[in-house]
Amino acid sequence: MGLRFSSQPSESAPKCGLGELPESCVAEIMTYMNPPEICKLATLNRAFRGASSADFVWESKLPSNYPVLLRRIFDDFPSHLGKRGIYARLCRLNSLDDGTKKVWLDRSTGKLCLCVSAKGLSITGIDDRRYWNHIPTEESRFNSVAYLQQIWWFEVDGDVEFPFPAGRYSVFYRIHLGRASKRFGRRVCNTEHVHGWDVKPVRFQLWTSDGQYVTSQCFLNGPGKWAFYHAGDFVVENERRPRQEE
C-alpha cells in the first residue's frame, strides 16, 4: 500500500459553458424568473438573448386575461407584436376614458395597476372656484391635481368598471397636504392653510359589484409630501366578468 503522485492531469468530463446551453433549456429556466432578471440574462450571449424573446417565456409573465385587457385599453393594437412586445406595451402608462385613467403593468411583477385622476372622480363642489382649483404639476401622472382651498366638508366618489385579472387588489388615495410649487428651481410647499385634518378622521368606503364591502378611517398627516392612504382591499375570482368598484 502506498501513495502515488503524478503531475499529469487526470481525465475528466468536458465542461459545458453557458454559451453551449440549448436555447430551449435557457428559455424554460427563464419562465421561473422575473422580467428584470430575464432582461439581465439576455445580455450574456446569443443563446440567452434568443431565449429571452421566446413567446412562451413572456406569456407566463402576462396576466391570464391579457387579450381582454388589450381590447379594453387599445383601439387598434398591432397584431404583429410578439408576447415580449405586448408586455412592454402594457408596462407603459396607457390612457383610458378620455385620459382620466391610467393603466399599466408593474415591470418587475407583471401585476396590474390602475390610477384615476381627480377629473375622473365625483367631488363635492369641484366646479366651484371658491373651493377648488385644478393646478398643473409635474408631480402627477395626469400633469394636474385638484387643489382644495377651503370647505366645511366634501365627498369623493369614484366608479371603476374594468376586467381585472384574478387576484387581490388594494385601493389607495394619493393625497398631499399643502400647495407645492417651485422657487428658484427648488421645490417648496406652503402649508399655512392646512388645518383640521388631525381633528376628525377621514372615512373611506369600498364596494364591489359582487357584494364586497370595506370601510376604514384615518387621520391625514405629514403635510408637505405625498402620502398613500389605504382605503381597503378586494378580491377578483372570476376574471371573465367585468368588475365594478366604487
Lowest mean pLDDT among 37-41, 48-52, 150-154, 181-185: 181-185
Q: What is the pLDDT of residues 129-179, one digit of tens each?
A: 999 999 999 999 999 999 998 888 889 999 999 999 999 999 999 999 988
Query: What integer pLDDT is reported at residue 192 of this predicted model?
Result: 78
Q: Is the pLDDT of residue 93 over 90?
A: yes
Helix (H) or strand (E) holding 23: helix 23-30
Residue where the block lists cell 446551453: 21
> Distance between CA atoms of 2 and 177, rounded to whole angstroms?
84
pLDDT of residue 193: 78
Residue 26 corresponds to which cell in the numbers above?
A: 435557457
Q: Whole-model pTM above 0.85?
A: no
Q: Are 218 and 201 in contact (CB under 8 A)?
A: yes
pLDDT-based confidence at 80, cuts 50/70/90? confident
- The least confident of 20-29, 107-116, 121-130 is 20-29
Q: What angle do CA 202, 203, 207 make, to 5 degrees?
A: 150
Name which residue leads in pLDDT, 228 or 22.
228
- Does the pLDDT value for residue 16 go beyond 70? no
Q: Please, what is the average pLDDT of the chain?
A: 87
Q: What does the pLDDT average to over 219-243?
A: 85
- What local confidence, expressed as pLDDT, does residue 6 receive? 47
Give tens-digit pLDDT for 182-226.
788 788 788 877 877 888 899 999 999 889 999 999 998 888 899
Give all domains of the chain, ordered by start, each with its CATH number.
18-90 (1.20.1280), 95-245 (no CATH)
Q: Rounded to an integer, what distance in angstroms lies between the CA atom of residue 53 and that of residue 31?
A: 11
